[in-house]
Amino acid sequence: MVKEVRKKEAFQYLNQAEEFLASASQNLNEKRFNAAGFSAIQSMINANDALTIYHLERRASKDHREAIKMHVDVVKIINDGSQRSRFKEAMDKRAYVGYLGTPISKKDAEYLLRSAKLFLIWVRKYVK
């Protein structure tokens, strides 16, 4: 179920995205690869929430499929789908990284952190 949110709250979600990104980086440095990957993905979720709040004044509330759909709705508005597959891939990996009890590799954690950094840079272009 989509949640209505005031546009100005987008910046709070962007700040949370930056906080989770910093956590991901610290976790990676301390060899906590699952925590690094999960925090990187959470950073992308918060960044996407900022994006959808800023452009739609709504955010996904329960389901990551809903977040992907809303991402696509914003892509149509801003005419830039360059991060669509990156975001969808992160959402697909969320359960694997955070809930299935299977450790991820350093390489996978580094990849997720790099993806989150690029995604956040992209979101900042559209949330001003």
Q: For residue 45, what is the domain's CATH number?
A: 1.20.120.330
State how many domains the chain has.
Answer: 1
Mean pLDDT to the nearest integer, 55-61: 93
More confident residue, 113 or 128: 113
Bridge partners (DSSP) of residue 4 are 58
Residue 3 φ/ψ, nearest 5 degrees: -110, 130
pLDDT confidence band for 114 (50 / 70 / 90):
very high
pTM of the model: 0.94
Contact between 115 and 44 under an 8 Å Cβ cutoff? The reply is yes
Mean pLDDT value across the chain: 93
81: domain range? 3-126
